[in-house]
Amino acid sequence: MDVSARIEAVYAQIVHRNPGESEFHQAAREVLPTLAPVLGAHPEYLDARIVERLCEPERQLVFRVPWVDDDGEVRVNRGFRVEFNSALGPYKGGLRFHPSVNLGIVKFLGFEQIFKNALTGLAIGGGKGGADFDPKGRSDGEVMRFCQSFMTELYRHLGEHTDVPAGDIGVGGREIGYLFGQYKRITNRFEAGVLTGKPVGWGGSPARTEATGYGTVHFAQEMLRTRKKDLDGLTVVVSGSGNVALYAIEKVHALGGRVVACSDSCGHVVDPDGIDLALLKEIKEVRRERIDSYAAAKPGAVFSGRGSVFQVPCEVALPCATQNELTEQCAIALVKNGVLAVAEGANMPCTPAAIEIFREADVLFGPGKAANAGGVATSALEMQQNASRERWTFAQTEARLAAVMTEVHTLCRTTADRYDCSPDDYALGANAAGFVRVAEAMAAQGVV
């Protein structure tokens, strides 16, 4: 059986074993074909069934999360943790609390996390988790009780040398605090390295909050430099207005770019003068209001509840919200408006059709597993600080983050070139580089 036929057989097996999990199918479909040059050069990976083993999680946990709301009503949610691959280190990946969370989404995120974590060069494996719980509109007491119930089941599977969750959509410093408190209470251990994304005052890392957004912008800057450009003076559009988007906007402005539009689930706002980050943070983090409040407060800004933020003309687009938000139609609009580069701050925000349009138009495209690796890289740096009982400064951590993103960018380009592909093919470079690092470790550790 040739390499392409083997890949198709693996994909068919994934669909058969994981029915109805469309996001996981999509992630596998995007990755597997790009591994053909690697597998052709390394038939030993085929003999050892590395790809088949890599696509099957080492452990999948699904559990009930009962809790009591402020009215005394019993609620029941479903929790998940997929421990996908530990060849390079303990499972590492965030927890997502959102009504859309299901096993297929957690698997897609965990699968992507394997490659993303490998690209950082740090000793972390891949995993992901979450629950179909929505913290929006819930009181602190309700969120606390949910988190305590969630951790009461999950704690037995965690540990700084086993599985180290972090935050994701719906899981910020508040939720991490409640989760850690329950873990500490149950285990009677202050095991700081068991969760990352903690507040700085009790084991967190400076720059962790900013890391994913900052790292995405660093990656975009590195891509632009290959064409003798940089962000200074360029017009940028950012989707989302959560943590990743806010700090992507902050870093773009620091590098001289101008973000003219951002969004949330109710629509998008366009500000030709450039997004006022202080106002946006107040609306989203303090007042917890929708994006239309920005337009009401800022003269010259316009809110739209229709269309896409990616229809706004720009030279750089940073999708930082959620999966499959940048569609084929969005990509057509971006190309028509002269976009130069797209870097994914979210996980798999561009559909396969959109990515193909960027490729055909010679638009620089940074896939999420490379472009947004700054978040998990800084989580690993937080683990280092916890292990050594040290605390680095913000400047030290940001410098390490910038260095990691530069190394990831270089690795993607050199790997693509090594397998006789264009260095601009960041998707192939990222997938191949991450796969080789994991495959080598899996082969060395035997059939486990």
212 marked as binding residue: yes
Chain length of the chain: 448
196 marked as binding residue: no
Element (H, E) at 131: strand 126-131
Is 121 within 8 Å of 407 (Cβ atoms)?
Answer: yes
Element (H, E) at 444: helix 426-445
128 counts as catalytic: yes
Number of helical (H) and strand (E) elements in the chain, helices listed first: 18, 12
Beta carbons within 10 angstroms of residue 186's beta carbon: 13
Cross-strand pairs, 262:
269
Using CA atoms, how far apart are residues 43 and 49, in angstroms rounded to an integer? 10
116 marked as binding residue: yes
- Is 365 in a helix, a strand, or coil? strand
3-state helix, strand, coil in the chain (%, to 5): 50, 15, 30
Q: Label residue 20 left, alpha or beta by phi (over 0 means left) and psi (-120 to 50 means alpha).
A: left
Residues 6+ apart with CB under 8 A from 279: 294, 297, 298
Using CA atoms, how far apart are residues 155 and 415, in angstroms rounded to an integer? 38
Q: Which two tokens stand for residue 149?
A: 């119930």
What amino acid occupies position 114?
Answer: I
Q: Which two tokens stand for residue 316?
A: 């750089």
167 marked as binding residue: yes
Cross-strand pairs, 270:
261, 302
What amino acid occupies position 149?
Answer: S
243 marked as binding residue: yes
Burial 218-228, CB ≥16 within 10 A → b, else e: bbbbbbbeeee
Element (H, E) at 154: helix 140-154
Q: Is the dihedral of CA 366, 173, 106, 322 positive or negative?
A: negative
Strand order through the sheet with 91-97: 59-68, 74-85, 126-131, 91-97, 163-166
256 marked as binding residue: no
The residue annotated as part of the active site, out of 107, 128, 198, 284, is: 128
Q: Label residue 349 left, alpha or beta by phi (over 0 means left) and psi (-120 to 50 means alpha).
A: alpha
Using CA atoms, how far apart are residues 119 and 182, in angstroms rounded to an integer? 32
Using CA atoms, how far apart are residues 248 and 280, in angstroms rounded to an integer? 13
Known binding site for substrate: residues?
A: 92, 113, 116, 167, 379
Active site residues: 128
Q: Residues annotated as binding site for NAD(+)?
A: 212, 243
Q: Which residues are annotated as a binding site?
A: 92, 113, 116, 167, 212, 243, 379
